[in-house]
Amino acid sequence: MSKQLDDTRTLTRYLLGSLPAAEAERLDELSVTDEEVAEALRSVENDLVDAYVHGELDEAARAQFKTHYLASPLRRERVAFAQDFKAYGERVSFTARAEAANETRAEGAAAATEAKAAPRRKGRDIFSALRDFNLSRPAWAWSAAFAALALVIVGGWLIFDNARRRQPAQTEARINAPEQQQTPEAKKESADKDATGTHPADEHAREGLESPAQERTSNDEQRLAEERRAAEGQRVERRRAAGQKSSAPRAGGGVASFILAPQLRGASQARSISIPTDAERVALRLRLEPNESETYRVALLDETGARALWRSGQVKARGSADGKILSLNFRARLLKPQASYLLRVTNDAGEIVDDYPFRVVKQ
């Protein structure tokens, strides 16, 4: 798909009639058959027209625009619209700026006036209006007070509950921290130290010997350190295994599963996925950009984007509005090795929500 999509400069030259005939004809076809090229062309044309209207084109492009682009009445209408839009935008901006400036001046004047104890204007100040409202309706004031009290109580309970839930974890952490653990011998030693002012171990240390308690403590420490290292190693292994699961499929003639994220503009490479030769189906989970739709349709397009190899029915996304996931699956035999494809997600209105290009790597 990406190799067929011409960049902005080529499309601009196409619109200005500057491309060689063969290339222009190729884009003629793509402008009708390729959805991505059609959309890009539309966008580039709008920007070109705006650039002309804003006087941003260089001399050569401007001349070409006048002779070629403006030859069509329909295109002249587009330019007229762009000129109107520019004029309207300038007018609104000017008005908005003037209004903002007026507002600022008015606020400053009002503040100065109020500082001189201007008479209270009933109904104009929201706080004074609230005061009046509350004074006139004691029941409302009491209700508001009770609501505030309820909020404080609930908030306090939540903080307490949160602290209570954390306590076992902290206790566990203390238990697991060998440095803080004291063997009975160690406790006795410190008690001895407190009593005599010297640590029995110090005497042993002076003699170059490890006291029995010290020896036992160091053994415990070693043992605990080894246990910690083993547990850490297991955690690392589990993480590695989980990571491999998301990028590599389960083998053995079943379903090859992948998670795809939407393509970002400017991204040059499509995601590569490895499908075992004996996989019967491909299961995909597509992470959607946040959007308001609830149901979608997905199409698997070939590299050219012109042919749909597979289409889903109406699919509902799972998750919240910020993190929707679409799950779908299709026969693995639709995908050829070393070929590129595009999964296109559209909403019920037919608008493209996201594109997911990917490349199949032979396994």
Cα–chain center distance at 337: 31
Query: Footprint of another protein on residues 1-40 (CB under 8 A)?
Result: 15, 28-29, 31-35, 38-39
Residue 249 or 305: the one with the smaller Cβ distance to another protein is 305
Task: Give the one residue of 71, 101, 150, 177 binding another protein; rule: CB under 8 A.
Answer: 71
Sheet with 325-331: strands ordered across: 255-260, 281-287, 325-331
Query: Footprint of another protein on residues 160-219 (CB under 8 A)?
Result: none
Amino acid (1-letter code) at residue 101: A
Q: Are 348 and 293 in contact (CB under 8 A)?
A: yes
Residue 85 or 140: the one with the smaller Cβ distance to another protein is 85
> Mind spelling out the 3-state secondary structure of 10-46?
HHHHHHCCCCCHHHHHHHHHHHHHCHHHHHHHHHHHH
Question: C-alpha angle with apex 230: 228 to 235, nearest 5 degrees?
Answer: 95
Give the range of 108-116, 119-127, 197-205, 300-308 binding another protein by CB under 8 A: 300-308
Polymer length in residues for the chain: 363
Give the integer Cα–Cα distance in Å for 205 and 198.
12
- Does 73 bind another protein (CB under 8 A)? Our answer is yes
Cα–chain center distance at 202: 59
Query: Footprint of another protein on residues 82-121 (CB under 8 A)?
Result: 84-85, 87-89, 91
- Does 61 bind another protein (CB under 8 A)? Our answer is no
Residue 132 or 355: the one with the smaller Cβ distance to another protein is 355
- The least CB distance from residue 28 to another protein, in Å, is 6
Tokens at 70, concatenated: 């403006």
Neighbouring-strand partners of residue 259: 285
Task: Give the one residue of 131, 311, 318, 331 binding another protein; rule: CB under 8 A.
Answer: 311
Task: Give the one residue of 20, 123, 322, 338 binding another protein; rule: CB under 8 A.
Answer: 322
Tokens at 180, concatenated: 């803080």
Give the range of 58-66, 153-161, 226-234, 261-269 binding another protein by CB under 8 A: 261-269
- Does 323 bind another protein (CB under 8 A)? Our answer is no
Residue 33 or 102: the one with the smaller Cβ distance to another protein is 33
At 329, which helix (H) or strand (E)? strand 325-331
Task: Give the one residue of 132, 215, 303, 355 binding another protein; rule: CB under 8 A.
Answer: 355
Neighbouring-strand partners of residue 287: 325
Amino acid (1-letter code) at residue 247: S
Task: Give the one residue of 245, 352, 361, 362 binding another protein; rule: CB under 8 A.
Answer: 352
Task: Give the one residue of 60, 63, 66, 81 binding another protein; rule: CB under 8 A.
Answer: 81
Closest CA to 225 of 187, 182, 176: 176
Give the binding site for another protein (CB under 8 A).
15, 28-29, 31-35, 38-39, 41-43, 46, 50-51, 54, 56, 71-75, 77-78, 80-81, 84-85, 87-89, 91, 262-266, 289-291, 297, 306-308, 311, 313, 322, 348-355
